[in-house]
Amino acid sequence: MSDLVNVALESGVLTVTLARPDKKNALTNDMYGALADALERAEKDTAVRAVLLQGDGDSFTAGNDLADFAKISQGAKGERHVTRFLTNLASATRPLVAAVQGNAVGVGTTMLLHCDLVYLATTAKLITPFVNLALVPEAASTWLLPQRIGYARAYAMFALGEPVDAQTAFSFGLANAVVAPDELRAKARAAAEALTKRPLGSLVHTKKLMRDAELIKAQMARESQIFSERLMSAEAREAFAAFAEKRPPDFSRIAG
Ligand code: COA
């Protein structure tokens, strides 16, 4: 579906690599489709015992492609694969491992809340600028993030949108370890391979017991409705235009 996402199965690990480094792995609709397909394959293909998510270049991902958002805010229609990707993340029963370097923006951070093991390079920066973009957080992060790190920290991440560095993210409990950038892939790969040696049935049940998939999906549905409304707002149009024009947004003349 997209040549900007590479999927490879080796020794039971389905490695899913975002491969759009010139745009910091910003996610287009087709890329979301490829990610959704990979997660569906992981559930169906008995050879897959763990999934490893990673990104090429200096960033994990800059989040949703802002040009795509701008098109939607101008009225573009069509299937949005992001919904299928998020639903598949919520329903995933296979272990998900993430290797994160550089920027992990928006969904680049919120998807980590659905991963079972997260490894950060020292360069990692978790950024959730939903409010700065006049949107609301997604991927059930409005529930999962405060639950994980507490309301005060979660609110600051969402409302101020300031980057959280690797050590801070680790101290918040958002990751399992921080490693040197040149060790990141090997570390995450070794963890994924270790999981392939564990009894899959037991891993699947353990994950199901630790996560309330139905509650997560219900929160995603609530977020998604408001997110879609916000995408069409004058505030969001200003935010996307400002990014395209490489200037700060000016919300001062727009009534909320
Ligand atoms: N959508 C589309 N293009 C993006 C993008 C995004 N989310 N993020 C980065 N890019 C593009 C830039 O427009 C630029 O393209 P160009 O070379 O054609 O001008 C290229 O990727 C490199 O980005 P740049 O901003 O020069 O890199 P940087 O290292 O200075 O900053 C980020 C990296 C990720 C901090 C910055 O690009 C950014 O804030 N991006 C927007 C992130 C965002 O708001 N995502 C949505 C979350 S919901």
Domain boundaries in the chain?
5-182+196-203
Give, in order, the Cα–Cα distances in Å from 172 to each of 19, 159, 169. Answer: 29, 17, 5
Edge to edge, what strands does the sheet with 50-55 contain? 5-10, 13-18, 50-55, 96-100, 117-121, 177-179
| Stretch 9-13: mean pLDDT | 98
27 C-alpha vs ligand 1 centroid, how far in Å?
11
| Stretch 39-63: mean pLDDT | 98
23 C-alpha vs ligand 1 centroid, how far in Å?
6
pLDDT at 8 over 90: yes
Ligand 1 pocket mutation pick from 4, 23, 24 by most atoms within 8 angstroms of CB: 24
Please tell me the residue having the least CA distance from ligand 1 atom 47. 106
pLDDT at 245 over 80: yes
pLDDT at 230 over 80: yes
| Stretch 76-88: mean pLDDT | 93
Can you tell me the distance from the alpha carbon of 147 to that of 179, in angstroms, rounded to the nearest whole number? 25
**Cβ count within 10 A of residue 201:** 8
| Stretch 21-27: mean pLDDT | 98
Contact 140, 223 (CB under 8 A): yes
Please tell me the residue having the least CA distance from ligand 1 atom 48. 106
DSSP state letter for 182 = G
For 67-81, 107-121, 228-242, which range has the lowest pLDDT when averaged over its residues? 67-81
For 44-53, 77-86, 149-158, which range has the lowest pLDDT when averaged over its residues? 77-86
Ligand 1 contacts CB of residue 231 (under 6 A): no
Contact 107, 138 (CB under 8 A): yes
| Stretch 16-31: mean pLDDT | 98
Question: What's the fold here for domain 5-182+196-203?
Answer: 2-enoyl-CoA Hydratase; Chain A, domain 1 (3.90.226)
237 C-alpha vs ligand 1 centroid, how far in Å?
17
Please tell me the residue having the least CA distance from ligand 1 atom 4. 23
What pTM was estimated for this model as a whole? 0.97
Mean per-residue pLDDT over the chain, rounded: 96
126 C-alpha vs ligand 1 centroid, how far in Å?
14
**The pLDDT of residue 79:** 87
| Stretch 87-114: mean pLDDT | 98
Q: Kindly give the pairing relationship between strand 13-18 and strand 50-55.
A: parallel
pLDDT at 162 over 90: yes
pLDDT at 217 over 80: yes
Spacing of C-alpha 7 from chain mean position: 17
Ligand 1 contacts CB of residue 110 (under 6 A): no
**The pLDDT of residue 1:** 63
216 confidence band (pLDDT: 50, 70, 90): very high
* 23 CA: nearest ligand 1 atom: 21
**The pLDDT of residue 154:** 98
255 confidence band (pLDDT: 50, 70, 90): confident
**The pLDDT of residue 30:** 96
